[in-house]
Amino acid sequence: MSKFKKKQGNTTPGISTASLPDIVFMLLFFFMVVTKMRDTELMVTVNTPQASEMTKLEKKTLVNFIFIGRPTEKYTKQVGTKPRIQLGDKFSTTDDIPLFLAKHRESVPEGQKQSIISSLKVDKDVTMGIVGDVKTSLRKAGQLKLNYSAKQRERTK
């Protein structure tokens, strides 16, 4: 007789799935907390002009966007069809720009406040009157770094 016995069937024990829902919900909550949703809904139509000489902005967290254009169809009944300024997620006037800039400066670390850039995303059909008013308001608020957003011009052969 042999001293060692052979095992009858090599079955592995079942894996307990009791903790699986806990793990799934922990991952779900983690991604809900960490993920940053888009905080600005575009309320104006912005068809930026084309340009040939462009540079890409490095740090998007230092850029505050100012949208200028005609309201989308969803908002034309409320505010009309004249070009409007959008700061963040609401229609604004040039008087609201200093407060908008101050709120953005609070969210930026102290050492990077001098690097804040205001980017104007202006529809190509908007007249320069409203753009000039925005630039004047930015200058009065002490925001001198300015950027105009544009699309890359298609190269012709």
34 pLDDT band, cuts 50/70/90, is confident
Torsion (CA) 15, 18, 24, 26 in degrees, nearest 10:
-120
pLDDT at 101: 94
pLDDT at 39: 65
Number of residues that make up the chain: 157
Closest CA to 64 of 111, 98, 34, 110: 98
44 within 8 A of 145, measured Cβ to Cβ: no
| Mean residue pLDDT across the chain | 87
- Of 25-39, 117-131, 134-148, give the lowest mean pLDDT range: 25-39
Q: Over 70: is that where the pLDDT of 7 sits?
A: no
Closest CA to 119 of 86, 145, 96: 145
| pTM, two decimal places | 0.73
Show the domains of the chain with their CATH numbers: 44-151 (3.30.420.270)
